[in-house]
Structure 1
Amino acid sequence: MSNIKSAYKKKEKFDFFFYINSLFLLMKPRVMSLVIFTCLVGLIIAPGNIDLYRNFVSLILVAIGAGASGMLNMWYDSDIDAIMSRTCLRPIPSGKLKRQEALFYGIALSAFSVSFLHYFANFLSAALLAFTIFFYVFIYTIWLKRKTPQNIVIGGAAGAFPPVIGWTISTNTIGIEPIILFLIIFLWTPSHFWALSLYKNEDYKKAKIPMLSVVSGEEVTKKNILFYSIILWPFTLAPYFLNFASYSNFVFVVIFGFFYIFLSFKLLITKTKSASNKIARNIFIYSIFYLFFIFSTILIDNYFFI
């Protein structure tokens, strides 16, 4: 009898941690990590007194808000997530969680993160976090994603707000620095996701999501990737000219920005499908590191040197 009870307790413990892990995956942890990092950069470069405890709690609350919006996104998109190979193993289509659970936790954590950010930081930060969640869920997920090939262009604004929120946590104001960081992420997003859509085009077709590659074709998508990689470049140089990044950051963004444009141009002139898909995948992966190192050098400059 004791062995049976022991086995039952182990199973119960396993199920609990399995459930918690499924909830965590529902929050899109990779997106959350990017949110925390870019929010931290906005917080570090901002002028003002450093309150480690308040800032740490505020960052966690912003991460929870981002996770809540991810939950609501997966709640609404569970039907198309089940169709696409890239998303079919997410917690809801794989049967680990129910849709109503994602809706409940998404709403509860949204309210929790916004209200407590107001308490620990200020009203402006809380209002921006609330608007970010609203924008991602209602403007991007519910309205734009299934209706227009410009979904990721306009919807990308939601992912660009964290550094602005970080700045407001420290200053309770908005300055030119966080606006530049916002624009860098905003202009980076289309080329990043359109590269993904090129080599996952069949997925988007099956799910009937009107990505640019589905609606306008491969050639137009490639041209737009190149266009956005070019217009992104001067904005990545702006932190140096506005004196919140050092010469090391300037050298980095010149070199790596040029290589990003080179990859995008190479994609445009490549005609074979298999080669195009390979380059598109490389652009998608490289773009993640590109954005990370842009923000990393700004963070290092401001924390150690400026």
Structure 2
Amino acid sequence: MGQVIEVNELTKRYGDTTAVDNLSFTVRPGRVTGFLGPNGAGKSTTLRMLLGLSEPTAGTATIDGRPFRDRPRGLRHAGALLDAGDVHGGRRAAAHLAALARSNGIARGRVDEVLAEVGLAAAGRRRIGGFSLGMRQRLGIAAALLGDPPVLLFDEPINGLDPEGVLWVRGLFRRLAAEGRTVFVSSHLMTEMEHTADDLVVIGRGELIAAESVAEFAARATAPSVWARTYDTTGRAALLAALEAEPSSVVRPDGDRALTVTGPSAARVGELAFRHGVRLEELTPRTASLEEAFMELTADSVEYLAGEPR
């Protein structure tokens, strides 16, 4: 079922601006791959080149070894949601999908199936102009699923979805990957990818930053830390001195009563507190999050940085 997406030395320039710069990565079937990057990183441009909607300046982007534009009935090979708002508002939902089905040689009965699958069975005869953003997102997902394709690409698919819709999309992506399909999801929501993706492709300013599993990427962040709190002011000073004497330990006061410790484990912090007679009110290990890793690794790639007011 699944097919491989391959991007090889892909470059896109608009005049003097380079949107995608010598980008190479592979997306494999049977897994959900998140496509992450700050705004302006080149994610949407890359997806458009994958789908043949934009011509590369250099390099290649293929699905199952062929450019997508070479597929005459593309929805049978890859389904995509790029912009849920890019649909004629005067059309009815079912008519919109039926037109896509006819142009791709897909049976009309498939329209009702995908409307039911995305929760829009009762809205098929409604005009799209009256849809909420969340309903448009569901309709876009229905269009992507229409040809029952082995490859699916989604650009910011949870925008406008309510919590129930977000849970539904997570389950859908997991099911599609479990069926052996290639699922490639572009998003700026790090926490969402933490819940959804197996692998990540991370870019910044059009260049590759990382292509690896979620766990490997999260491990790139600052080392896990320990948060310790005590009401014993004198004891806190003694514990601070003991922790600073530990090899490779970095200790940072956190308010008047707590310490954030990087290096020693929670067990070691507790042992030192006991040895110095310090009663800890709380001792909490903190693991690095995907969002922390993302912020650290893309800090130099953010297009606009907020600064101090002038």
Q: TM-score of the superposition, structure 1-length normalised?
A: 0.27
> In proportion to residue count, which structure has more helix?
1
